Amino acid sequence: MDDSSNFDEISEPGYHPSPSSLDQNDQSTVETPVYSTMSGDSSMFGRTYSETSAFSDPIDDNSYSSEPSPSHWPVTKSGAQDQAIYGRLEMKQEKQVVDDKLDDQESADLELETMKERFSKLLLGEDMSGSGKGVCTAITISNAITNLYATVFGQNLRLEPLKPEKKSMWKREMDCLLSVCDYIVEFVPKSQNSRDGTTLEVMESRPRSDIYINLPALTKLDAMLIEVLDSFQDREFWYAEQGSMSSNSTRSGSFRRVIIQRKEEKWWVPVPCVPPDGLSEKSRKHLRHKRDCAYQIHKAAMAINSSILAEMEIPHTYMASLPKSGRACLGDTIYRYMYTADRFSPDHLLDCLNIASEHEALELADQVEASMYTWRRKACLSHSKSSWVIVKDLMSDIDRTDKNHVLAERAETLLFCLKQRYPELSQTSLDTCKIQYNRDVGQATLESYSRVLEGLAFNIVAWIDDVLFVDKSVRTQDQ
């Protein structure tokens, strides 16, 4: 009876016997299962004894056998503390999730408001008064594509992937701006078989021919350029701002050589740095491959842009501003060589001119283009005859030997060679005038899209050339 009563007292919840009240020789308590009397609350946070002892008072090693009861463990107290800690952690995590959702919602709302503002300006023709004095739709879309390119790629001056938000912004807004081309259609005849076997010719709509041919090609070139930038995720080279040395850089000569290569005119472009031993052969091969890809993309975009500009009508304002004499426009030296040479060589002429800057090249391009249309206009005016006589004269060899016709062809060849030699050349006065007075929305979209892709491809080629130049300089110094 005494033993049972003592066991009941020991097992009673909340009873804490002292070590002296237990019989040291009594072994019944040792045989009691440890977890037989644990409450449901303590089982939720079941710890081992070693874990619990870290939160309790020091106990003599010999006292473990005399205090086997779980009621001696401060489980209830520590469990409450853990519940409070876990509760605070859960609340903190929930608060962080809510804050992240609010931040995402705020950024999405801000992005939506920005898009609303841009498309409002697009529809208003950049006339915020709404009085109809804005520019036409063609110029508005052209400006929108140009401004979007400046926003996305304007700060990207390195061989590195675009930031995800920039990439999504470029894709999303370009899809919106290019969607207008889906509704520029033309009607073409199509044969259709009826139920009774007869063949009928009906008209169906399809994208206009220039959009049908050029727009898929431009979107493909766009994706290829983004892929070229994405391929530089892991690279062996790095960048440092001009005038400062990177902590990983040990060679200062490469900085100055790149600056000399750029003729110190693009001071804002960061300077590439390579390891002391130069790039590995794998990295060098990768750079050359991507340079070839970007160069081919640049040529394709430039060809599309040139063809679109050639299809645009020449404004009357430009024709009215042409000089009366092509010789006075070009100068006696260039005119004499173009007129007297039996075998005209535009490359030899450009070598003799010693063009020193892009400004001089652009000025020469404007002069050559103006003189070309001046001679073409004179060639047309000299054949103001009946329609049948004009056709016969155009098909005869005599017309091809006309002085104005020969000079116009040579001027066109010189202009083409000049643009090939200086691919970074800005738009000529005629190109700018065409874009300004163009009213064709499809042509404006294709021209601006091809122009920005041409500029991006040219920049990528230039950035790769800078890295290869620094690598070559470092390897030359080692030798």
Half-sphere exposure at residue 136, Cβ-oriented, CA atoms within 13 angstroms? 12
In-domain check, residue 116: yes
Q: Which residue has the higher pLDDT, 145 or 262?
A: 145
Q: Work out the mean pLDDT of the chain and round it to a whole number.
A: 76
321-351 b/e with 16+ CB inside 10 Å = b? Answer: ebeeebbebbeeebbebbeeeeebebeebbe
In-domain check, residue 181: yes
Residue 124 has which token pair?
């208003």
Answer whether residue 229 shows pLDDT above 50: yes
pLDDT category at 55 given cuts 50, 70, 90 is: very low
- Residues 97, 176: one domain? no
Answer whether residue 93 shows pLDDT above 80: no
- Residues 6, 69: one domain? yes
pLDDT of residue 283: 92
What percent of the chain has pLDDT above 70? 69
Mean pLDDT of 121-146: 85
- CA–CA distance, 326 with 343 (Å, rounded to integer): 20
The pLDDT tens digits of the residues spanning 257-282 come to 444 455 455 667 788 888 888 888 99
Cα angle 426, 291, 466; round to 5: 75
Q: Which residue has the tokens 């290569």?
A: 261
Residue 451 CA: distances (Å) to CA of 66, 202, 293, 376 = 89, 38, 17, 27
In-domain check, residue 368: no
Answer whether residue 57 shows pLDDT above 90: no
Q: Which domain covers residue 276, as residue numbers?
A: 137-297
In-domain check, residue 339: no
pLDDT of residue 119: 75
The pLDDT tens digits of the residues spanning 158-200 come to 999 999 999 999 999 999 999 999 999 998 888 888 888 888 8
pLDDT of residue 391: 45
pLDDT category at 92 given cuts 50, 70, 90 is: low
H or E segment and range at residue 193: strand 185-193
Q: Which residue has the higher pLDDT, 119 or 420?
A: 420
Q: Which of 235, 264, 297 is the C-terminal boundary of a domain?
A: 297
In-domain check, residue 310: no
- CA–CA distance, 69 with 42 (Å, rounded to integer): 13
The pLDDT tens digits of the residues spanning 383-421 come to 554 444 544 454 444 455 678 888 889 899 999 899 888
CA 400 to the chain's CA centroid: 48
Mean pLDDT of 338-349: 83
- CA–CA distance, 126 with 443 (Å, rounded to integer): 20
Domain count, the chain: 3
- CA–CA distance, 189 with 202 (Å, rounded to integer): 6
Answer whether residue 84 shows pLDDT above 70: no
- Residues 170, 229: one domain? yes
In-domain check, residue 87: yes
- Residues 181, 287: one domain? yes
CATH number at residue 215: 1.20.58.2010
- Residues 257, 173: one domain? yes
The pLDDT tens digits of the residues spanning 284-313 come to 999 999 999 999 999 999 999 999 999 999
- Residues 143, 279: one domain? yes
H or E segment and range at residue 20: none
Question: In sequence order, what are the residues at sequence separation of 6 or more whose Cβ sits closer than 8 angstroms to the Cβ of residue 24?
Answer: 66
Q: Which of 134, 166, 183 is the C-terminal boundary of a domain?
A: 134
The pLDDT tens digits of the residues spanning 20-38 come to 444 444 444 444 344 433 3
In-domain check, residue 438: no
Residue 188 has which token pair?
């073409």
pLDDT of residue 338: 86
- Residues 189, 253: one domain? yes
Choose from 292-296, 313-317, 361-365 the range with maximum mean pLDDT: 292-296
In-domain check, residue 413: no
Q: Which of 280, 297, 314 is the C-terminal boundary of a domain?
A: 297
Answer whether residue 61 shows pLDDT above 90: no
- Residues 89, 211: one domain? no
- Residues 52, 81: one domain? no
- Residues 250, 279: one domain? yes
pTM of the predicted model, to two decimals? 0.68
CA 410 to the chain's CA centroid: 40
pLDDT category at 97 given cuts 50, 70, 90 is: low
- Residues 271, 179: one domain? yes
Answer whether residue 17 shows pLDDT above 80: no
Question: In sequence order, what are the residues at sequence separation of 6 or more whose Cβ sits closer than 8 angstroms to the Cβ of residue 177?
Answer: 141, 144, 145, 148, 445
Mean pLDDT of 430-444: 94
- Residues 286, 172: one domain? yes
